[in-house]
Structure 1
Amino acid sequence: MSQYTVTGRFKNRDGFAEFETTIDAENENVAREHTLSQLGSQHGLKRTQIELEEVEQR
């Protein structure tokens, strides 16, 4: 598995909050899905409230 760094922002009470996370995944699409799933679970967000800006392999 490779490591991917995913950056973006999500909607919160004050507008938007920036985030950057590192994920172990098989490919870029899996990294995107894991990030959406994690942020949605941790912050109670829907996928439409999360904007992924960049996914890059480390």
Structure 2
Amino acid sequence: MSQFTVTGRFKNRDGFAEFETTIDAENENVAREHALSQLGSQHRLKRTEIDLEEVVEQ
């Protein structure tokens, strides 16, 4: 498995908040899905409220 750094922003009550997270995944698409799932779960967000800007393999 590879490590991916996912950066982006999500909508919150004050506007937008930026984030950067590192995820272990098989490929870039799986890393995107895990990032959306984790942020949605932690911050009670829908996928449409999360904007993934970049996914980079480490």
TM-score (norm 1): 1.00
Give yes or no for the alignment of 1:31 onto 2:45.
no
CA deviation digits over 1:5-46, x for unaligned, max 9?
000000000000000000000000000000000000000000
Match of 1:19 in 2: 19
Provide structure 2 residue ranges, at least 5 long, that are not aligned to the other structure.
none
Q: Distance in 2 between matches of 1:6 and 1:38?
A: 12
Provide structure 1 residue ranges, at least 5 long, that are not aligned to the other structure.
none
Give the number of aligned pairs: 58
CA RMSD in angstroms comes to 0.2
Give yes or no for the alignment of 1:52 onto 2:55.
no
TM-score (norm 2): 1.00
